[in-house]
Chains A and B, each alone.
Chain A
């Protein structure tokens, strides 16, 4: 196995607040291989965004207690001085965000905003940076990029803005692109275009991609591996096949049950997961999911389940026996789909 691009080891991000300690990320470990696409799935407040904001150095020790290691090409980013981290951010690792409507500065021209990113990390003239910015806009499929570069964000549609954001993020040819809910704020028709664009550019720029989403349907065809997060922990990890055709965690079953399918023959309604995600200050003891889990038993209320691999790759954090998991999935979850 090649050296992983990113290896996160037992990352904890705890925010002290007046109400108590918010354990947004509570012991997360995973690796990302070069060229891989990793899907990170979970409800709001599951810690998926905070994990990667911390990797980016956008959550700092001023705001939170951060423990663990974030090894990027073997170098612990959490130990880097601020300025060195800043040099990596935007050039080696870049990030795009959920809402392209508010992610671009309303007072600066789109081309200028991309050129600004380029000039922060490369010694090029304003003119060259502008030309590169126009070229990036062309690559992300924006028509008439020369004209568009001198327009303001409000003159762009939502999909175009997200394209511009992707262009900005890839302008320095990063090793890793984090896309935080890149399609959530967009029209359904545009969503697919944006995900295809990310796929295409990933190949062109030879980057690893992390797609953060709350919608398992979104990552279905775009990800190699998928990790499911709940209450600051990874509850299941596996490749695309594992997660869609043989998931082992009741929470993943719940997520799969909440995808709407046009080709569904079943007359049943969507099956939402009952209840709400837990408060991250008062995380339930034992398995954090047990109050919402229809299969919970005594042990779930007291022991925290570990993320245990079944076959070297696919892993889940659940006390149910493997036989039970497979039986329940086949008999109760699959039939509904």
Chain B
């Protein structure tokens, strides 16, 4: 198991290496314009462009540039470790910006994740235990809407209804807990949490329901009943154990993907997260910022995959890695 994890970690590093290499090539090599001109500001002089080019090592051969780039990531730069470089838009170090943005995305993603788990899984269980009941039909009806309604539709709708019309919730924007206190922080997060969670909750409810219904038809459930176990134990011990394992897998992957940036939700609710920053960086051609957010998203996704695989080995005794 230990060796398996080490091998998988090396694999994560390799995948990140490839991702950054491709990103580097896309943004530094492929554009026909000289990146140094981009960095040098409006109407730069030839000398300024040359200076910028030298300052960022863009006059060196491509291989050296890439090497320097990786060296910075692994060994840090003048702004600390890991070296995240310098933003040409804000003309400041990227590390504090990225970390701040990452924290906002985490607050959004973790809060929403808690909501969708608490909402989706119990709904799925209740639906599965009473298939075709009124509750099941209502829940699955809502789930269908939830799965089909995109965040860029639901988000503005919520803002219009609950903020603009009904004044039940405060508007968009990020109010940090340190500066504004728990109440203000939470009240501004509640709508983004709900909107983001609804989509996933719907998906999880449907998945839990389908899995549990399938599991309850298995032979070992009949065995559990034949043993004379109380129905509650049959469902919660024997049924859920088998049917929630794939849901746990799904959860790991979804959370991993979200931590790399909830692009639409952050944009709709004007939250300064990593996803919104990625969009902004691409729009302004802030090359190092683009590389950083790409690496971060790639890291969360590959790492979540690893965590899920390891957790799976603990959940399902039939799975063993060697």
User: Which A residues are closer than 8 A to B by beta carbons?
Assistant: 56, 58, 86-91, 94-95, 97, 99, 102-108, 116-117, 120-121, 152, 154, 165, 168-169
Residue pair B228, A152 in contact (C-beta under 8 Å): no
- Of B220, B223, B230, B241, most buried by chain A (CB within 10 Å of CB) is B223
In the complex, how many angstroms separate the beta carbon of A299 from the nearest chain B beta carbon?
A: 41
State in angstroms the CA–CA spacing of A90 and B224 once bound together. 9
A58 and B228 contact, CB distance less than 8 A: no
Which B residues are CB-close (under 8 A) to A108?
241
Q: How far is the CB of B311 from chain A (nearest CB, A)?
A: 14
Question: How far apart are the CA atoms of A121 and B220 in the complex, in Å?
Answer: 19
Q: Which residues of B contact A56 (CB under 8 A)?
A: 226
* Given A86-B230, A99-B219, A116-B229: A105 in contact with B317 (beta carbons within 8 A): no
Q: A105-B238, A105-B242, A106-B242 are in contact. Are A58 and B225 (CB under 8 A)?
A: yes
Q: B270: CB under 8 A from chain A?
A: no
Point out the residues of chain B lying under 8 angstroms from A94, CB to CB: 226-227
Q: Are B228 and A121 in contact (CB under 8 A)?
A: yes
Given the contacts A88-B228, A107-B316, A154-B317, A97 and B223 also touching, CB distance less than 8 Å? yes
Shortest B314–chain A CB gap in Å is 11
Would you call the interface of chain B mostly helix, strand, loop, or mixed?
helix
Which residues of chain B have a CB within 8 Å of any CB of chain A?
218-220, 222-230, 238, 241-242, 245, 315-318
Of the residues A95, A104, A152, A154, contact of B220 by C-beta under 8 Å: A104
Given the known inter-chain contacts A152-B317, A154-B318, please indicate yes or no for A103 contacting B227, CB distance below 8 A: no
Extra A-B contacts (17), CB below 8 Å, given A90-B228, A102-B218: A56-B226, A86-B230, A87-B228, A88-B228, A89-B226, A89-B227, A95-B226, A102-B220, A105-B223, A105-B224, A105-B238, A106-B242, A107-B245, A107-B315, A117-B228, A120-B229, A120-B230
Of B220, B226, B315, the residue contacting A90 (CB under 8 A) is B226
Q: Which residue of the partner chain, among A89, A102, A107, A169, contacts B241 with CB atoms under 8 Å?
A: A107
Q: If A97-B219, A99-B219, A102-B219 touch, does A107 touch B317 (CB 8 Å cutoff)? A: yes
Complex CA–CA separation, A91 to B229 (angstroms): 11
Contacts of B222 in A (CB 8 A): 58, 97, 103
Most buried by A among B222, B226, B245, B317: B226
CA A103 to CA B225, docked complex, whole Å: 11
- Please, which residues of chain B bring their CB within 8 A of the CB of A169? 226
Nearest chain B residue, comparing its CB with the CB of A82: B231
Question: What are 14 contact pairs spanning A and B, CB under 8 A?
Answer: A88-B228, A89-B225, A91-B228, A97-B222, A102-B219, A103-B219, A103-B223, A105-B224, A105-B238, A106-B317, A107-B245, A107-B316, A154-B318, A165-B223
